[in-house]
Amino acid sequence: MRLFIDQKFPPLAVAKQIEVEDSILFRVLVQVLVIVGIVAVDIAGGTQISLWAIPLSTIAATWSWYRRRSRNITLKFCIALGMLVAMGVFFGKLLGQLNDTRLVLAEFLIQIQVFHSFDVPRRKDLGYSIVIGLILLGVAGTVSQTLAFAPILGLFLAIALPTLVLDYRSRLGIKQKGKFKAIALTNVKSSGKLFLVILGLGLLIFAFLPRFPGYQLRSFPVSQTIDFKGQFNGSNIANPGYVKEGKGGGGTGTGGAQRSEGKADSTFYYGFNSTIDQNLRGELEPKIVMRVRSQAEGFWRVLAFDKYTGKGWEISRNEQVQKVLRSSWSYQLSLPLPLIVGKTKEVVQTYTVVSQLPNLIPALAHPKQVYFPTREIAMDLEGGLRSPVGLGEDMSYTVISEVPYRDRAALQQTGNKYPKNIQAYYLQIPPEIKNKVRDRTEEILAKYNQERVAKSTKPLTSAYEKTLYLAQYLKQRYTIPNNPLGLPLLAKDEDLVEAFLFKNQGGYPDQFSTTLTIMLRSIGIPSRLVAGFSPGKFNPFTGLYVVRNTDAYAMSEVYFPRYGWFAFDPIPNHPLIPPSIEESQTFSVLRKFWQWIAGWLPSPITGLLNNVFLWLGNASAWFFALFSQGWLGTLTGLIIATGLGFVSWLSFGQWRKWLNHRKLAKLPPMERLYRQMLAWTANKGDFKHSSQTPLEYAQSSYQRHASTTAQVIEEICQAYVGWRYGSQSPNLSYLLQRWQTVRGKRK
């Protein structure tokens, strides 16, 4: 009776011994995977969790190894208490950081893993640790904004492959003798090949994976709340590149003078202030200022200017700002949108500041919701956003903009009936130059057909077409000096636009935009100067736009009745129309990768491939458009898809035959005959199992083939074995004749 009870209900210690995982190598690799996951979170999020988690989890794993056969009741009780405390701390931090919980969740998971590491007797427990390491790596991937995460990902994959092999062997119950005997299980060569194959497939899938903005998860990362001490009126702009008059250090103000003697600051863009002086000279020292994750590429708009001063610009209504407060329980600040008609698209952008910026908030046009770490922000009458504090390093915020589509046909029909408030502020031009600039502008437009700057020969009647033509004209007929200090400073009574058009025949980049703006105003088209950042350099591996201070510049914004403001870029080597939502982002990574490849190829090859890709794109667009043309179009599309599938299947079969023929041609004659024989029998349904020897396969062939055929198969197998393992010369002519007889082919 006692024996029966012991067999049916074994003691707990005996049951635990059955499930204990004894492989030291397996345990070490699992612990390394967890460590890599913790380090990945630290690198991606800029935290220091690994300073305590790695040594403590290593001690815990060592303890677990020595206590793997014990019941550890007291330890389990302490672990449960520790997890409850960790959960309480987690909920406390969660309530304080509802804006972005990724790092809070990762820290909680690391704490749970450390407690878990103290009691890991079974393979299943080690499996939990593997999953936690994988989750930590995934969290790090979503947080990371640089390629520093890439080596960690490769290291994790390299360690995970042998770990999974050992896990599989443990599931099968395969035991190893000796502590590190299991190292022999992992063939370095085969593991290396598998690593390269997985890495290559991953990069290929990543490159071809469509980026559908509508399918992106809407998470709104925001830094922790910054409590601003003092009164915020919204009119002050703090640009560290400017100094207050009478002070030698950096400061704040609404229009302080910049560096003396006409030299611009080499770190901060001069255009981010309520008053800018375009008579300054110099160039910026490149540095990264922010990283942007956006559903669409665009111009990260900062602020706009309405009043031209003759040597620069200023915001005439700088004191008239609208302050926006948020509630105490939400980071969302709702902004008013302008009353415009036309189709718009919601675009989510997340900005992470890398180095200090002014208290101006970059965003795509027409922001409607801002998730910002301060309790209030301000919005000026030009659509610029301002913060109570400067944008410091590691600050994150999110903007949701309602970006309008640029409908060229609609904008050409808007007419010239401008509202009074638009005419009052955006047609201003110094009277000293008004007639001279207007005459030059009208002269350029009158010679439109003779100059042939644009390809079209239609007369210019709309404000939109005139703007396009003038911007293109400035690009092609005026130049930028090679030397940043090449042009002389303007005299006290000298006008910038006048000098640009009639004296210097060009100027510095922002002066092109100023000239275009004033030329448009001279012929009655409302316009203003807008400053911001170009999209920057897109990193296809992180999905972020890396923006530098040298990406800051100014361009012209033109007003179209009922449709609002649209930007035009007259600067040479810049696109005439800045990047906008009209461009498809579906295969953005693949497109960016091709642009990088094309930069290394000769122009003729690039042009040819561009034409091929264009044709493929047009053909794909036409094919998918069929399914939106009713049942007849759908039927046509299905017929074409079926035909293409059949042709592809035939082509793939022929390609495989060609590859097999090439492969067989490189083999010795005896092995070639043997392989051909196996391929023929496999086609008949008689597959050779990998565990069968050639002679065993030959004996089994008598059960599946006619005796004459099986006899030939046996002769070929015996000759192959003798040639391969006994160095015997086969009678190839006899064997070939016999084989051709079986296949029904005679010479």
Question: DSSP per residue over 328-359, as a string?
Answer: TT--EEE-PPP---S-EEEEEEEEEE-S-B-S
Which has the closest alpha carbon to 553: 509, 487, 602, 601? Answer: 509
Number of domain units in the chain:
3
The 10 Å Cβ neighbour count of residue 351 is 25
Domain closes at, from 552, 583, 600: 600
654 within some domain = no
Domain presence at residue 30: yes
Give the phi and the psi of residue 377 in degrees, each rounded to 5: -140, 175
- Predicted confidence at residue 206, as pLDDT, reads 67
Sheet containing 376-380: give its strands across: 321-325, 376-380, 385-386, 360-361
In a domain, 683, yes or no: yes
- On whether residue 310 sits in a domain, the answer given is yes
Q: Which helix (H) or strand (E) holds 159?
A: helix 149-172
* C-alpha angle 466-553-503 in degrees, rounded to nearest 5: 60
Cβ contact 49:107 at 8 Å: yes
Structure tokens at 289: 């200022």
**Dihedral angle computed from the Cα positions of residues 505, 509, 510 and 513, in that order, rounded to the nearest 10 degrees:** 60
Same domain, 484 and 503: yes
Q: Which residues of the chain, if any, have pLDDT below 70?
A: 1-18, 95-100, 175-190, 206-219, 242-262, 449-458, 484, 582-601, 617, 628-629, 745-747
d(CA 24, CA 66): 11
List the end-to-end C-alpha distance of the chain, in Å, as a whole number.
81
Residues 200 and 247 in one domain: no
Separation CA 37–CA 30 (nearest Å): 11
36 pairs with which residues across the strands? none
Note whether 549 and 587 are same-domain residues.
yes
Considering the domain architecture, whether residues 596 and 684 belong to the same structural domain is answered as no
Whether residue 56 is contained in a domain is answered as yes
Nearest residue to 513 via CA among 524, 503, 500, 502 = 500
Find the Cα–Cα–Cα–Cα dihedral 566, 235, 300, 313, rounded to 10°.
60
Residue 622 lies in a domain: no
Determine contact, residues 500/506, Cβ cutoff 8 Å: yes
Task: Give the per-residue pLDDT at 491.
Answer: 86
* Crossing angle of helices 707-726 and 669-683, rounded to 10°: 140
Q: Which amino acid is at 495?
A: D
Is the same domain home to 709 and 737?
yes
Q: Which residues contact 77 (CB under 8 A, 6 or more apart)?
A: none
Is there a single domain that holds both residue 682 and residue 717?
yes
Q: Can you give the residue range of the structural domain that contains 152?
A: 10-208
For residues 297 and 404, state if they share a domain: yes
Q: Given 155, 176, 208, which residue is the final one in a domain?
A: 208
The reply to whether 153 and 234 lie within a common domain is no
Examine the domain organization and report whether 247 and 198 are in the same domain: no
Beta-carbon contacts of residue 160 (< 8 Å; ≥ 6 apart): 33, 130
Q: Could you give the maximum distance between any two Cα atoms of the chain, in Å?
A: 116
Rounded-to-integer distance, Cα 85 and Cα 112, Å:
10
**Euclidean distance between CA atoms 501 and 11, whole angstroms:** 96
Structure tokens, 211:
């980026």
Same domain, 200 and 333: no
CA gap 504, 487 in Å, rounded: 8
Distance, in Å, from the CA atom of 417 to the CA atom of 412, rounded to the nearest integer, reads 13
Residues 290, 534: Cα–Cα separation, whole Å: 12
Q: Is residue 429 situated within a structural domain?
A: yes
Identify residue 144 by its one-letter amino acid code. S
Predicted TM-score of the model (pTM): 0.67
Which pairing describes strands 527-533 and 552-560: parallel, antiparallel, or unpaired? antiparallel
Specify the pLDDT at position 180.
44
Whether residue 643 is contained in a domain is answered as no
At 564 the three-state DSSP class reads strand
Sign of CA dihedral 226, 230, 235, 240: negative
- Nearest Cα to Cα of residue 238 among 98, 426, 41, 390: 390
Comparing CA positions, the residue from 351, 358, 389, 377 lying closest to residue 272 is: 358
What backbone torsions phi and psi does residue 514 show, to the nearest 5 degrees? -60, -45
Alpha-carbon gap, residue 324 to 318, rounded angstroms: 16
- What is the DSSP track for 269-291? -TTSSSEEETT-B--PPP-EEEE
616-633 pLDDT per residue, tens: 767 877 777 777 667 787
DSSP string, 462-486: SHHHHHHHHHHHHHHH-B--SSTT-
Spatial separation of the C-alpha atoms in residues 82 and 108, rounded to whole Å: 12
- One domain for residues 575 and 696: no
**Would you say 511 and 465 are in contact if contact means Cβ atoms under 8 Å apart?**
no
What are the residues whose beta carbons fall under 8 Å from the beta carbon of 412, sequence distance 6 or more?
462, 464, 465
CB-CB contact of 234 with 385 (8 Å): no
Residues 280 and 169 in one domain: no
**Burial 126-164, CB ≥16 within 10 A → b, else e:** bbebbebbeebbebbeebbbbeebeebbeebbbbbbbbe
Domain end marker among 583, 600, 617? 600
Q: Hunting for tokens 């000796």 — which residue is that?
A: 178
Q: What is residue 256's predicted lDDT score, i.e. its pLDDT?
A: 46
Distance from C-alpha of 290 to C-alpha of 666, rounded to nearest angstrom = 56
- The pair phi, psi for residue 465, each rounded to 5°, is -70, -35
